[in-house]
Amino acid sequence: MVVLENVVKTYRRRRGDVKALSDINLRIEKGEFVVVCGPSGSGKTTLLMTIAAMLRPTGGSVCVEQNNLYTMSIRDRAKFRAENVGFVFQMFHLVPYLNIIENVALAGGVASQSGGAVKANELLKRLGLAERAFHRPSELSAGEKQRAAIARALFNRPKIILADEPTGNLDPDNAASVIGYLSEFHHSGGTVVLATHGTEAEQFADRIIHLHNGSIDNSG
Amino acid sequence: MTISNLIFKEIIHRKINFILGLLAVVTAVALFVAFVTTGQAYRRETRRVMRDMGQNLRIIPKETSIDKFWSDGFSEHTMPEEYVHRFASLEGFSYTHLTATLQKKVVWRDMNIILTGILPEVLPLDKRQQKPMTFSVKPGTVYVGFEVAHGLDIKERGVVDILGRTFTVIKCLSRTGSSDDIRVYGHLHDIQSILNLEGKINEIKALECLCLIEDENDKRSMLAIAQEQLAQILPEAKVVLVQGIAEVRQKQRAAMEGYLAFLMPVILAVCGAWVGVLAMVNVRDRQQEIGIMRALGYGSGRIMLLFLAKAAIIGLLGAAAGFFTGTALALNFGPGIFKVTAKAIKPEYVWLAWSLIVAPVFTAVSSFIPAMIAITYDPAVTLREE
The answer on B213 and B135 residing in a single domain is yes
Query: Which residues make beta-bridge pairs with A196?
Result: A37
pLDDT by residue (tens digit) across B315-348? 999 999 999 999 999 889 888 877 766 777 888 8
A82:B296 CB<8 A = yes
- Residues of chain B that touch chain A, judged by Cβ-Cβ distance less than 8 Å: 1-3, 5-6, 9-10, 12-14, 288-289, 291-300, 302, 378-380, 383-384, 386
Helix (H, G, I), strand (E, B) or coil at A108: helix
Looking at the structure, tell me whether residues B40 and B90 fall in a common domain.
Answer: no
What are the Cα distances from residue B347, in Å, to B34, B104, B260, B332? Answer: 9, 50, 19, 11
What is this model's ipTM? 0.83
Q: Does any domain span residue B187?
A: yes
The string of DSSP codes covering A73-84 is -HHHHHHHHHHH
| Angstroms from A173 CA to nearest CA on chain B | 23
> Which residue did the predictor score with more confidence, B99 or B382?
B99
Does B338 lie in the same domain as B272? yes
H/E stretch holding B101 reads strand B95-108
User: Which residue, B186, B207, B241, sits at the end of a domain?
Assistant: B241
DSSP string, A178-200: HHHHHHHHHHTT-EEEEEESSST
CA pair distance B95, B91, nearest whole angstrom: 9
- Over residues B287-311, the pLDDT tens digits come to 888 888 888 888 888 888 988 999 9
B225 and B259 in a single domain? The answer is no
CA distances to A33, A144, B55, B57, B224 from A171, rounded to whole Å, are 22, 12, 92, 94, 92
The verdict on B32 and B135 lying in the same domain is no
Percent of chain B exceeding pLDDT 70 equals: 82
| Residues belonging to chain A | 220
Same domain, B107 and B160: yes
Domain edge (last residue) among B211, B241, B271:
B241
Residues B227 and B260 in one domain: no
Distance from CA of A10 to the nearest CA of B (A): 13
| Interface probe, candidates B292, B294, B300, chain A, greatest A C-beta count within 10 A | B292
A128 Cα to chain B: minimum distance (Å): 22
Same domain flag for B187 and B211: yes
Q: Are B179 and B87 in the same domain?
A: yes
Whether residues B214 and B296 share a domain: the answer is no
In one-letter notation, the amino acid at residue A79 is: K
Chain B interface, best mutation among A12, A50, A85, A97, by max B CB count within 10 A: A97
Domains of chain A, start order: 29-57+69-216 (3.40.50.300)
Calculate ∠ Cα B298-B304-B307, nearest 5°.
Answer: 120
Nearest CA in chain B to A113: B1
The structure's pTM equals: 0.65
| Residue A207 C-alpha, separation from nearest chain B C-alpha, in angstroms | 24
**3-state class of B269 per DSSP?**
helix
Query: Could you read off the pLDDT of B187-231 as tens digits, one per residue?
Result: 999 999 999 999 999 998 887 655 444 445 555 566 677 677 777
* Sequence-separated (6 or more) residues with CB below 8 Å from residue A102: A95, A120, B1, B9
Identify the domain boundary among B241, B271, B286: B241
Give percent of chain B with pLDDT exceeding 90: 32
CA distance A28 to chain B (A): 21
In-domain check, residue B80: yes
pLDDT along chain A (220 residues), means of 10: 93 87 93 92 90 92 91 88 89 91 85 71 90 94 92 91 89 88 92 88 89 80
Give the one of B3, B296, B386 whose C-beta lies nearest to A91's C-beta.
Answer: B386
pLDDT at B279 over 50: yes
* B28 closest CA partner among B266, B259, B256, B352: B266
Which residues on B lie below 8 Å from A90 (Cβ)?
A: 386
Average pLDDT over residues B343-360: 88
Flag whether B246 is in a domain. no
Interface list for chain A against chain B, based on CB atoms closer than 8 Å: 45-46, 49, 52, 54-55, 74-75, 78-83, 87, 89-91, 93-98, 102, 105-111, 116, 152
Contact predicate B62/B237, CB 8 Å: yes
Domains of chain B: total: 2
B221-260 per-position pLDDT tens digit = 666 776 777 777 777 788 877 666 556 656 666 666 676 6
Give me the domain span that covers residue B168: 57-241
Cβ pair A75:B299 closer than 8 A: yes
**Looking at the domain assignment, is residue B199 inside a domain?**
yes
* Lowest pLDDT segment from B61-75, B105-119, B140-154: B61-75
Q: Are residues B101 and B141 in the same domain?
A: yes
Do B13 and A83 lie within an 8 Å CB cutoff? Answer: no
Considering the domain architecture, whether residues B284 and B178 belong to the same structural domain is answered as: no
Q: Does B219 map to a domain?
A: yes
Residue at B266 is within a domain:
yes
